[in-house]
Amino acid sequence: MLITLLLFTLGWSASRGLFPFRSDQAPAPSGQPPFYLPVFYSLGRYWVIAEADNASRPTATPRPTLTPTHTVTPPPSPTATATKPPSPTATPTPSPTPTPTPTPWPTPDGVIRQVRVPILMYHHIAVPPPGANAIERDLSVTPQDFEAQLQWLAQNGYTSIRLYDLVYALAQGRPLPEKPVIFTFDDGYRDAYENAFPLLQKYGFTGTFFVLTEFMDQNLPQYLSWSQAEEMSAAGMDIEPHTKTHPDLRWRDRDFLIWQILGSAQTVEAHIGRFPRLFAYPSGHYDANVLQVVHEIGLWGAVTTQQGTIHTSDSLYELRRVRIRHSDTLYTFALKLSWDF
């Protein structure tokens, strides 16, 4: 308490000018009372901090206001620029497989015509196998005899035509060569491909092959395969239906006839690429119902086993043929070509 009182007294005396605490203190300007700061105690010494001392102290340099530094914004993820795809290399377009041009329907012009064309009828072009029965031998013409017949025809000026040419000649009067001849082969035996086909090509002739489609579908070894038939067709031969299974078509119901006749034609179309327009009656058997179905499904003509070389425009579905037998010699062959009935 005593010490506090003493300090207060000394402070008051100094503030009244009783004694200066500092000799270098400048007098107060005239007209203004001196101003003294309070006395502070520090480390056992006394001092008065004058206004001038405050002024002489280095002024704290104001800290610059912090300008927010530029926030490093991460660069935006590169937007996926649509890269221009390389120009496609022009791949040559494969040439389309040519679609067979359909032959127009030979609309009859109303004129009754008659032409003479031998339509030769063959079955096997092969040597009869050992033990062959009389029918098998009769239906077989050896490759040697067949080639002799082709040679004779070529030497005597005959020209091979298609059955389609005959139909157009009868229906519309299209001209035919001076000595036309047509080759037909029934049942579609394998030897037709192995023997008849190459010999026809050798002499520049064409042929019509009436096939049994069900037996071909079953890949029976004695009949043509579809690949063989397709090869023959591509070479200019005609592949036409002969029913599916070679039944007697007489006295059959309509559904059975459509299945055998139209069904076999559609099967040929599926493999050859065109709808066939000609037909051969199995064993030459047919009746009025068969003739009606053949006409209704869009066939243009059909061949029989009736013998002859004369055809008329009103008998396109009953065309005659010339049967060539195993027993025929070159002389009898030539004689049949001269038939006039």
**Span 133-183, pLDDT tens digits:** 999 999 999 999 999 999 999 999 999 999 999 999 999 999 999 999 999
Query: Which residues on adjacent β-strands are paired with residue 121?
Result: 184, 323
Residue 159, token pair as written in the block? 């020209």
Residue 37, token pair as written in the block? 């700061």
How does 118-139 read in b/e, with b if 16+ C-beta sit within 10 Å? bbbbbbbbbbbeeebeeeeebb
Given CA atoms 47, 51, 54, 56 in this order, what sign does their dihedral have? negative
The tens digit of pLDDT for each residue in 63-81 reads 444 444 444 444 444 444 4
Side chain identity, residue 95: S
Give domain limits for the chain: 2-56, 114-337
pLDDT score, position 302: 98
> DSSP code of 326?
T
Please give the helix or strand (H or E) that residue 280 lies within, else none: strand 278-280
Average pLDDT, the chain: 81
Please state, in angstroms and as integers, the Cα–Cα distance from residue 104 to each residue in 108, 110, 267, following that order.
12, 17, 21
SS3 4: helix
**CB neighbours of residue 48 within 10 Å:** 17
Residue 1 has pLDDT above 80, yes or no: no
Confidence of residue 249 (pLDDT cuts 50, 70, 90): very high
pLDDT score, position 296: 96
pLDDT score, position 85: 47
> DSSP code of 195?
I
The separation between the first and the last C-alpha atoms of the chain, rounded to the nearest angstrom, is 171
Mean pLDDT of 251-271: 98
pLDDT score, position 106: 86
pLDDT score, position 111: 94
The tens digit of pLDDT for each residue in 178-229 reads 999 999 999 999 999 999 999 999 999 999 999 999 999 999 999 999 999 9
The tens digit of pLDDT for each residue in 5-15 reads 555 555 544 44
Query: Which residues on adjacent β-strands are paired with residue 241?
Result: 211
pLDDT score, position 107: 86
> Looking up tokens 């010490």, which residue turns up?
3
Q: Supply the pTM of this predicted model.
A: 0.71
Domain 114-337 has CATH 2.40.30.10: no
The tens digit of pLDDT for each residue in 22-71 reads 444 444 444 444 443 444 333 333 333 333 334 334 444 444 444 444 44
**CB neighbours of residue 252 within 10 Å:** 17
pLDDT score, position 11: 52
Among candidate residues 116, 206, 197, 114, the one with its CA nearest the CA of residue 153: 206
**What percent of the chain lies above the pLDDT cut of 90?**
67
